[in-house]
Structure 1
Amino acid sequence: MSLTFTPFDLGPVRLKNRLVMAPMQQYRGAPDGSATAYHPLHYGRCAEGGIGLIVVESTAVASNGRLFKDDIGLYADRHVAPLRAVTDAVHAHGVPVFVQLSHGGRKSHPPPGERLLAPSALAFDGDYGVPASMTPQDIAAAVQDFADAARRAVAAGFDGLELHAAHGYLIHQFLSPLSNRRDDAYGGCGAGRARFAREVAEAVRAAVGPGFPLSLRVSASDYVESGLTPALVTEAVEALQPCGIVAVHVSSGGLLPVPPAHSRPGYQLDWARQIREACGLPVIAVGGLHRRSLIESALADGQADLIAIGRPILERPDFMTDKLASVAFDG
């Protein structure tokens, strides 16, 4: 029996299969951060293709935290109605939909007059520039931004949230010793570096209430010595578990302009397995997992509970349908 097409529960949300549409930037947001007419059409078409769960692209919690100038956001009430059109389009096909909430930190494109912020005044590269080290007031404001965006996500009809703590964005920047050189309560040891993530998760949980599913996307490796490892990430995940995290979405990299040494299909599976075994939470694996045989073995061997797929679905939204599964997964 195929594990791929068996149901799975993320808290109170039942998925009809183990396949997740990974959050992928669409670069189609309005200048004010609103979703456009493109988004319900795009996500509705992807839901029609037979996926178990859709995670909407990285959605900014603050205007100074947009990853790109055409990102969508949930940092203002005006963003709720356009995203309600997205959730309605996905729900019309019986598919649950989460939204990924993010703040880019030093990898943001803030509008004129707003500051580039990060845990420490360390640039990602010469293009982004040197960020300002966040003050306690800046940190408190960012935590509130996540909570406010979460509240709007509930109003927009999302079934759950994914907190983006990967790919070199703000929460990741706090977690990694390579980007967090603070000597206050938000730096130093692992518990200090995880404090911002914990406060965000606590504030989000308070905003959405008990039982609403929260997942966490992490980077299991920074690809350089002295950076994040699965063990360090597990410590951070465990600090957030009291907030009711229902799944960990395991990716890697993004903190530094350093590529992975290998990016073969399934290259992140061992990291996913390590985190799954250590923290005891369901894990979403991602990274070149496009062949049915590889997906089945990852699920059967306990490397992951769910499999996220990105680019193939963008190219072919019906990639996951049962009638095409044998072609799509084995071609």
Structure 2
Amino acid sequence: MSIAFSPVSIGSLTLKNRIVLPPMQQYQGSTDGFATEYHQHHYARRARGGVGLVIIESTAVAPEGRLMTDDIGLFSEAHVAPLAAVAAAVRAENVPVFVQLSHGGRKSVPHGGGVLLAPSRIAYDDCYGLPEAMSAEAIAVAIEAFGTGARRAVAAGFDGVELHAAHGYLLHQFLSPLSNRREDGYGGSPERRWRLLAEVIGAVRAAVGPAVPVTIRVSASDHAAGGLEPEVVAEALQALVPLGLDAVHVSSGGLLPAPPPETGPGYQVRYAEAIRRKMKVPVIAVGQIRTREQVEDILVQGRADLVAIGRPLLIYPDLSRVL
């Protein structure tokens, strides 16, 4: 049997195979961040195609942390019911479903004209503008928002949650020395830069209990001098996993406007491999993985435990047409 279609566990949850639909924005949310019937049909159709796990798109935990004006959120109790319909549609296909919880930080489009927040007063670019450095009170509010979002996700019927600490959004901003120039308890050393993430994990684990899988998506490299590299990210993850993480989803980039220096088939797998060598929890590889040969090679060689396939499944939702 193909290793790609063998079972694997994430925490207490066993998946029927090792193929993951990663979170990809669909730009179909309402103005107020509500999921729609589009999301029900979109994610259920990909689940029907044969993946082992569906992770739905970045879902804002706070109105000021929305990534765009047509994303979706869990920043009010009213958001639960529409997302419960999405979760139910996926689970009806006998596939577990996670939701990715996010806060955009300095890469946000604050709903209702809220304040742009970040660890330090450093802009991503001219379009987003200059953020405010978060106060201790603002940090506490963000931590609570992640915990509340996780509680709502479980209430909506999701099987697990993924924390978005990649692609230049708030949790990534705190991790990277290029965006975090704080000199308090949340910056100034690697350990203090990952303190926020540790506290978010604690809040999320407290909200969902011990049995619900909690995973994290990280950018293993900032593709810039002085930024994050896999060794530093792995060190942070080694400290964070005991707090309640069940798997690590490895991507790269997004902190700076510049694109990665090189791309190509499986170009991010080396980051997943570097982190997997240090981890005792499953690692998910992602990034231009498009063929059965790629998938089998990654898994057989132990470079990752699961493989996420993104854009090909948008085009061909039936997994057999991709692999």
Give the TM-score range, shorter chain. over 0.9
**Match of residue 210 from structure 1:** 210
Say whether the 8 Å CA contact 1:15–1:52 is kept in structure 2.
yes
What is the correspondence of 1:211-230 to structure 2 with a 5 Å cutoff? 211-230=211-230
**Match of residue 282 from structure 1:** 282
Deviation for aligned residue 1:316 = 1.4
For residues 204-245 of structure 1, what are the alpha-carbon distances to aligned partners after superposition, in whole Å with 9 as ceiling and x for unaligned? 000111121001100010001110011111122122112221
Q: 2: distance between equivalents of 1:111 and 1:151?
A: 22
What is the correspondence of 1:159-178 to structure 2 with a 5 Å cutoff? 159-178=159-178
What is the correspondence of 1:119-268 to structure 2 with a 5 Å cutoff? 119-268=119-268
Secondary structure of the 1:84 match is helix
Say whether the 8 Å CA contact 1:238–1:279 is kept in structure 2.
yes
Deviation beyond 2 Å, 4+ runs, structure 1? none
**Match of residue 59 from structure 1:** 59
Secondary structure of the 1:245 match is coil
Deviation for aligned residue 1:113 = 3.6
Identity %: 59
Q: 2: distance between equivalents of 1:180 and 1:130?
A: 14
1:102 aligned onto 2:102: yes
Say whether the 8 Å CA contact 2:202–2:244 is kept in structure 1.
no
For residues 108-133 of structure 1, what are the alpha-carbon distances to aligned partners after superposition, in whole Å with 9 as ceiling and x for unaligned? 00034410000000000000000000
Say whether the 8 Å CA contact 1:190–1:235 is kept in structure 2.
no
For residues 13-60 of structure 1, what are the alpha-carbon distances to aligned partners after superposition, in whole Å with 9 as ceiling and x for unaligned? 111111000100000001111101111111111111111000000000
**Match of residue 83 from structure 1:** 83
Q: 1: distance between equivalents of 2:35 and 2:243?
A: 29
Q: 2: distance between equivalents of 1:261 and 1:281?
A: 29
Q: 1: distance between equivalents of 2:286 and 2:268?
A: 7
Secondary structure of the 1:279 match is coil
Say whether the 8 Å CA contact 2:21–2:53 is kept in structure 1.
yes
Q: Which letter maps to 1:124?
A: Y
For residues 228-280 of structure 1, what are the alpha-carbon distances to aligned partners after superposition, in whole Å with 9 as ceiling and x for unaligned? 01111112212211222111000000000111111111111111111011122
Q: 2: distance between equivalents of 1:227 and 1:283?
A: 22
Secondary structure of the 2:5 match is coil
Deviation for aligned residue 1:83 = 0.6
Q: 2: distance between equivalents of 1:237 and 1:259?
A: 25
- Structure 2: segments with no counterpart, 5+ residues: none
Could you say what the CA RMSD is over the residues aligned between the two structures, in angstroms? 0.9
Q: More displaced, 28-37 or 149-158?
A: 28-37
For residues 129-167 of structure 1, what are the alpha-carbon distances to aligned partners after superposition, in whole Å with 9 as ceiling and x for unaligned? 000000000000000000000000000000000000000
Say whether the 8 Å CA contact 1:8–1:16 is kept in structure 2.
yes
Say whether the 8 Å CA contact 1:146–1:200 is kept in structure 2.
yes
Say whether the 8 Å CA contact 1:18–1:305 is kept in structure 2.
yes
Say whether the 8 Å CA contact 2:60–2:72 is kept in structure 1.
yes
Secondary structure of the 2:14 match is strand
Q: Which letter maps to 2:14?
A: R
Say whether the 8 Å CA contact 1:220–1:229 is kept in structure 2.
yes
Deviation for aligned residue 1:281 = 2.0
The alignment covers a number of residue pairs equal to 323
Say whether the 8 Å CA contact 1:194–1:239 is kept in structure 2.
no
Q: Which letter maps to 1:196?
A: L
Q: Which letter maps to 2:303?
A: Q
Q: 1: distance between equivalents of 2:244 and 2:137?
A: 26
Secondary structure of the 1:188 match is coil
